[in-house]
Amino acid sequence: MKLLTFVHFLPVPAATLSELHDIGVTAGSTPILRGVDLVVRPGEVLGLFGANGAGKTTLLRVVATLLRPSAGVATVLGVDVTSPQRFDIRHRIGMIGHIPGLYPELTLGENLDFAASVAGVAPGGVEQALEAVGLLGAINRRAGASSHGMQRRAEFARELMLERDLLLLDEPHSALDQDAVELVNGLVGKIAAGGGAAILVSHDRGRVDAVADRSLELVAGSLR
Amino acid sequence: MQSDIPSRRWPWFAIGIAVAASVTVAMLSPADAVQGELVRIMYVHVPAAWLAYLAFGVTLIASIGYLLSRNLAWDRIAASSAEIGVYFTGLAIVLGMIWAKPTWGVWWTWDARLTLTAIMFFVYVGYLALRRTTDDRRARANRAAVLGVVGAVQIPLVHFSVVWWRTLHQPASILRPDGPAIQDPIMRVALLIAVIAFTVVYVSLMVKVAELHRVNDAAQAAEAGEHHPVAGASVTAPGLDPGVGNV
Amino acid sequence: MTPSFTSQVGAVVKRDLRRQRRRGDVLWITIPFGAVALLLMPLAVGTDAGLLQRIGPGMFWLTVMLFGVLVTVGRASVETQAQRDAASLLGLDPAAGYAGRSASAAALLLIYEVIVGAIAVVLYDIEVIGIPWLAVTLVLVAAGLGLLAALGASLVNSDSGGSALVPLLVAPLSVPLLLGATQAYEGLRLGSSILEWMLLMAAVVLSVAVVGVITARPLQES
């Protein structure tokens, strides 16, 4: 699988890629996160663990600038996550959640075609990306008719196509066979080597510890 | 739970005085030469309709205020005003129908103003329904503010369309949808007093309803406060008893 | 390569129309529903030919307003949170997303209008006159309703079944379009001026487009 073709390097490494100070998130009247402090530096691969309902996905969405914290200050790629400028940096953040974000009616190729068009990637990138993840033969298969593992691979193909400085992965190894697991680890490693960073949320300590530089645990809404 | 937000009492007094004044002038003003005692409905119907337009106008201003500042206080004002507006629009429509049946022989007529009022009623019923179905506080404020602006921007266009339509379809009968022209100066003064009284009622209700929203928001924030356990704390490690079930 | 606003709009339109083509909600659910409504109305008001010919155009436009808006709430139109997040992180400008969804909704509405319109002409024996102006009317209504429906869809939580609220939000605001369309047809039939009705509908399209684009970013906040 050809990864090197796709990984792009940050022109000038920043001191930190993301800084969260005393972050709190509530859903209605239910606190999910409280007093979270987190710094993500260039070149880091961070593992994030925690029990069910601990708020791991919520934390990822804050870092992705998709969820506005109710307390604290968060900056990602130098931008306050509550400021209007957050829309301008979102294309530099990749996220693959545990629920696929593909459109089931569209084929895997069409899903990536949509991503390429929106992100301004050259049209040829779709086939290259799918080939890199071993899905070129399934380019015309509908996402809804593809297995969970295939959809995850397709989402990794999407991330391969795009220039990301920060990669956020929720359960990155789930539903993947060994080849695909190595693909994920390779991608994460290359992004970090290029000056980016990755955060991996997982229950699979063994696999994440193999690639992560450090690991943190969410307990009672805070990081340890 | 005791609220830290002081509960103002003066709005209740103001409402009491305003209602008393309104009822007094309605009962003391003379009966109409044509409508008789039925004219007294006018002293509630007209101010209620005025109040509805005022309330929705405030909702528009507060919605813009929220979108510019993201301050939830503006959202509380918009919501409070819309609630009051919907109730008084409904009141104006019902009273109008009660007045119309003995006067015109029909419960409803497709007069431009009535039609516009009915449409506005449903626009803001939709606004309130949207607020009810959005759980997240910030999302509720954002969405309601957008609808508050869109709805208000469309109202003038709805107004023109209905007026032009009615111009084309004037009834041949001698129905006077605009209602009687008020000749008697005492009645005019009485109506003015009623309008002022209802405006006082609106302001007073706004204070109390906005206070209620503030208390709700504060209660929600307090529930999510430092002493409240986070959601994840309710999940513990399972402890399967070997004697339970077939395990 | 920095994507342009129009290329992002184009990508969204392509996505939505592809999804619709595969799912077939509009062709197999919304259009038949509108046709059934036209079929049921004479059963409720009487089958007098003269009456039906008089109310036919209005009944058609009413089905467009009430059922056409459903093009934005079918399975092929709603997005899950995961899909919205993924699109957001592609750098999709919220305004481009709104413009694209509105344009695809308008295209689907136009298809609805043409097919259900033809059924109305047959069932109600409606006279088809002033075809160029009728075409303009169809386009203006499709555009205005598409913009309103897309805005309505972005205001609700489609994940938790909030889509049922969209018709209630859109219907009262679509009155100028309803009156504009019906009165424009009447004007064509009677040979009187229809300019003010066309301008009214165009004003709806413009005002909703402007407000929708301006408020697209605030609406995306969680």
pLDDT at A6 over 50: no
- Helices and strands (H and E) in chain C: how many: 11, 0
Encode pLDDT of B46-58 as tens digits: 889 889 989 999 9
Is A53 an 8 Å CB contact of chain B? yes
The sign of the CA dihedral A198, A203, A209, A211 is negative
In angstroms, the separation between the Cα of residue B168 and the nearest Cα of chain C is 9
Is A116 an 8 Å CB contact of chain B? no
Which tokens go with C193? 């001026």
Whole-number Å distance between alpha carbons of C114 and C135: 10
Could you tell me which chains touch chain A, where touching means 3 or more CB pairs under 8 A?
B, C
Find the mean pLDDT for residues B156-183: 69
Whole-number Å distance between alpha carbons of C136 and B95: 42
Which tokens go with A123? 């049209």
Helix locations, B5-111, DSSP H = 10-28, 42-69, 72-104
CATH of domain A18-223: 3.40.50.300
Find the mean pLDDT for residues B74-79: 97
Element (H, E) at A45: strand A45-50
Q: Give yes or no for a contact between B55 and B82, defined as CB atoms under 8 angstroms apart.
A: yes
Amino acid present at C23: R
Question: Contact B230/A27, CB-based, under 8 Å?
Answer: no
The minimal CB distance from C151 to the residues B138, B150, B158 is found for B150
pLDDT at B175 over 60: no
Give the three-class secondary structure for C37. Answer: helix
Lowest-pLDDT choice from A197-211, B130-144, B175-189, C52-66: B175-189
pLDDT at A109: 96
pLDDT at A8: 40
Question: Contact B231/A70, CB-based, under 8 Å?
Answer: no
Whole-number Å distance between alpha carbons of C160 and C146: 22
pLDDT at C184: 95
| Closest C-alpha to B140, from B130, B126, B150, B149 | B130
C186 to chain B: which residues are within 8 Å by CB? Answer: 168
ipTM of predicted complex: 0.90
C27 to chain A: which residues are within 8 Å by CB? Answer: none
Whole-number Å distance between alpha carbons of C182 and A72: 55
> What percent of chain A stands above pLDDT 70?
94
Q: Give yes or no for a contact between C38 and C116, defined as CB atoms under 8 angstroms apart.
A: yes
Q: Give yes or no for a contact between C178 and C65, defined as CB atoms under 8 angstroms apart.
A: yes
The sign of the CA dihedral A28, A31, A32, A35 is positive
What are the residue boundaries of the structural domains of chain A, listed by start?
18-223
pLDDT at B1 over 50: no
Q: Give yes or no for a contact between C71 and C26, defined as CB atoms under 8 angstroms apart.
A: yes
CB within 8 Å of B230: residues ≥ 6 apart: A30, A31, A32, A33, A34, A55, A220, A221
Write out the residues of chain B at the interface with chain C, using a CB-CB cutoff of 8 A: 67, 119-120, 122-123, 125-126, 129-130, 133-136, 138-139, 142-143, 145-147, 149-151, 153-154, 157-158, 160-162, 164-165, 168
Find the mean pLDDT for residues B174-198: 72
Give the residues of chain C that fall short of pLDDT 50: none
Give the three-class secondary structure for A36. Answer: strand
Domain CATH for B98: 1.20.120
Residue B118 belongs to what domain range? 10-170+178-220
pLDDT at B182 over 70: no
pLDDT at A86: 92
**Terminal alpha carbon distance of chain C:** 29
Buried b (16+ CB within 10 A) or exposed e, B91-101: bbbebbeebbe
C85 to chain A: which residues are within 8 Å by CB? Answer: 61, 64, 66, 95, 97, 101
Amino acid present at A115: A
In angstroms, the separation between the Cα of residue A70 and the nearest Cα of chain B is 10
Q: Give yes or no for a contact between B50 and B44, defined as CB atoms under 8 angstroms apart.
A: no
Write out the residues of chain C at the interface with chain B, using a CB-CB cutoff of 8 A: 151, 155-157, 160, 162, 165, 168-169, 171-173, 175-176, 179-180, 183, 186, 196-197, 200, 203-204, 207-208, 211-212, 215, 218-219, 221-222
In angstroms, the separation between the Cα of residue C212 and the nearest Cα of chain B is 8
Question: Contact B139/C156, CB-based, under 8 Å?
Answer: no
Give the three-class secondary structure for A93. Answer: strand
Which tokens go with A138? 């399934």
Is the residue at B128 inside a domain? yes
Domain count of chain B?
Answer: 1
pLDDT at A175 over 60: yes
* Angstrom distances, CA of residue A223 to CA of A35, A78, A216: 8, 22, 6
Distance of CA C193 to the CA centre of its chain: 25
Encode pLDDT of A42-88 as tens digits: 999 999 998 888 889 999 999 999 999 988 999 999 999 988 899 99
The minimal CB distance from B235 to the residues A33, A52, A70 is found for A52
pLDDT at A174 over 90: no
Find the mean pLDDT for residues A146-164: 92
Q: Give yes or no for a contact between B89 and B121, defined as CB atoms under 8 angstroms apart.
A: yes
In angstroms, the separation between the Cα of residue A215 and the nearest Cα of chain B is 19
Q: Give yes or no for a contact between B89 and B117, defined as CB atoms under 8 angstroms apart.
A: yes
Whole-number Å distance between alpha carbons of B52 and B57: 9
In angstroms, the separation between the Cα of residue B233 and the nearest Cα of chain A is 6
The minimal CB distance from B230 to the residues A28, A52, A220 is found for A220
What are the residue boundaries of the structural domains of chain C, listed by start?
5-219
pLDDT at B247 over 70: no
Question: Contact A94/C89, CB-based, under 8 Å?
Answer: yes
Amino acid present at B158: V
The minimal CB distance from C82 to the residues A91, A93, A100 is found for A100
pTM greater than the 0.80 cutoff = yes
Max Cα-Cα span within chain C: 63
pLDDT at B243: 63
pLDDT at A52: 80
pLDDT at B170: 63
C211 to chain B: which residues are within 8 Å by CB? Answer: 146, 149-150, 153
